[in-house]
C-alpha cells in the first residue's frame, strides 16, 4: 500500500494536483505492480513560504513549478524498477501537464509490511 504525498505551489487550475496524483498512481501500477484500487494520496498546495527548495541543488535548475512527490511503500523493489518509476513519472508529467522534468522531486520511503494498518486497529499484512 503506497501512501503518496504530493506538494506543489498553489495553482489556478483546481484539478492540476489531482491529475499529478493520477499519473503517479498509474505509473506505480504499471512499473512497480501496485494494485489498481490501492490509491491513497494527500495532495497539498503551498505558497513560497511553506514549500522551500534549493533552486540549484546538484546543478539542477528548479523553479516555482517544483513538485515534491513522496511515496511510502513496502520495501523490496529493485533499483532498476525505482529508476524506471522516477523517469516515467517525470516524463508523463512533462508531456501531459507541461511540468519541467527538473521540477519533479521524488522520494521513496520503504517500510516493512508490518508498519501498515488499513483500519480497525489491525496490521493486515502480518
Catalytic residues: 2
Taking alpha carbons only, the member of 37, 32, 22, 52 closest to residue 108 is 32
Measure the N-to-C terminal CA separation of the chain; round to a whole number of Å.
Answer: 13
68 backbone dihedrals φ, ψ, rounded to 5°: -95, 125
d(CA 30, CA 27): 5
Q: Which sign does the torsion angle of CA 84, 77, 31, 59 carry?
A: negative
Q: What angle do CA 19, 64, 67 make, to 5 degrees?
A: 40
Amino acid at each position: 500500500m503506497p501512501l503518496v504525498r504530493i506538494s506543489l505551489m498553489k495553482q489556478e487550475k483546481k484539478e492540476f494536483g489531482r491529475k499529478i496524483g493520477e499519473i503517479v498512481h498509474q505509473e506505480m501500477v504499471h512499473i512497480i505492480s501496485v494494485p489498481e484500487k490501492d490509491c491513497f494520496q494527500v495532495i497539498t498546495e503551498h505558497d513560497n513560504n511553506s514549500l522551500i527548495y534549493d533552486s540549484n541543488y546538484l546543478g539542477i535548475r528548479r523553479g516555482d513549478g517544483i513538485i515534491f512527490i513522496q511515496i511510502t511503500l513496502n520495501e523490496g523493489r529493485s533499483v532498476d524498477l525505482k529508476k524506471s518509476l522516477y523517469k516515467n513519472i517525470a516524463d508523463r508529467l512533462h508531456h501531459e501537464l507541461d511540468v519541467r522534468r527538473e521540477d519533479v522531486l521524488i522520494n521513496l520511503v520503504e517500510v516493512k509490511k508490518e508498519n501498515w494498518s488499513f483500519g480497525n486497529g489491525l496490521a493486515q499484512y502480518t
